[in-house]
Amino acid sequence: MSLNDVVEAIPRKSMVLFFLIDTSGSMSGSKIGAVNAAIEEVIPELKDISAGNADAEVKIAALEFNHSANWLTQNGPVPVDSFLWQYVDAGGNTAMGEACRKLNDALSTKTFMRDTVGSFAPAIFLLSDGEPTDDFDDGLTELKTNKWFKAAIKVAVAIGDDANKNRLAEFTGSTESVLEVHNSAMLRKMIKFVSVRASQIASKSVQVNPVKNAAVSKLPDETSDETAKNAEAPSLKQAALNEQIAQIKAVTQSTQSGGDDEW
């Protein structure tokens, strides 16, 4: 048998999209309803992104935090093709510090990132309508030493007036990567927008400047804890996501006011 008769498919890289979801008591009602509906609705779009992406397979990991923080995907990231969203309820406090520690533990080759041969750095999406009720500072300080977290692109959605946008900006690294929403329709729209855009950007090796329409230099592969140290690739990807967030902010500022479910 010749070499031409045996052709092995080159395995795709993987990219994990992390959902960190505030399910504290203040999220009950239309807020948690919008979160559940939006994540369920965006899964088919993420499946299309993964199926059409020659570079990477999209996987999902989800964590909820209230009086404690718990992984909804306990066995690690799930390929989006086999991911089924199970609706979550709201109740309790806002253990965002514990969520940071749980995320730190997961961002390791010994746990959620153990299948990292040929992986891209993850995309991390945080949603909250309040502020931490535990030791957030210590949890975030520990998380910020994590090489995968440093390499990840990060975005947060502040839900309603009571959301502590400064805390969310500390998590993402800038106010530019924090979106603010005030009704359920916009929350659903932003969850879908961020999930799709973050997955598209994080799972590509080459970025295109949308303003100048010019390709930037090819990004290095993010294949291990060691290469996750490289700051150039995630900074380019984060900048690309922040630019799209700025555009959507400009559009939504004039469309969010009003409505029966205004928060």
pLDDT in tens, 185-197: 999 999 999 999 9
Residues of the chain where predicted confidence (pLDDT) is lower than 50: 1, 3-8, 206-232
How many angstroms separate the CA atoms of 59 and 124, rounded? Answer: 12
Q: What is the pLDDT of residue 12?
A: 75
Reading the block at residue 60, the tokens are: 């999902």
What total number of domains does the chain contain?
1
Query: Residue 121 is part of a domain; what is its CATH number?
Result: 3.40.50.410
Residue at 219 is within a domain: yes
Whose tokens are 């900006």? That residue is 169
According to the model, what pLDDT value does residue 136 have? Answer: 98
Task: Confirm whether 77 is domain-assigned.
Answer: yes
Q: Is residue 226 part of a domain?
A: yes
In a domain, 191, yes or no: yes
245 within 8 A of 176, measured Cβ to Cβ:
yes
- Percent of the chain exceeding pLDDT 90 equals 73
Residue 262 lies in a domain: no
The dihedral sign for the CA sequence 249, 100, 195, 227: positive
Cα 77 from Cα 75, distance rounded (Å): 7
Is 75:106 a contact under the CB 8 Å cutoff?
no
Structural domain contains residue 260 = no
- Partner residues linked to 69 by β-bridges: 65
Assess if residue 208 is contained within a domain.
yes
pLDDT for 213 equals 34
pTM listed for this prediction: 0.85
Q: What is the domain range of residue 73? A: 12-252
> Given this model, what pLDDT does residue 226 score?
45
Strand 123-128 to 78-79 pairing: unpaired
Residue at 34 is within a domain:
yes
CA 135, distance to chain mean position in Å, is 22
Distance CA 111, CA 187 (A): 31
Q: Phi and psi (nearest 5°) for 140?
A: -70, -40
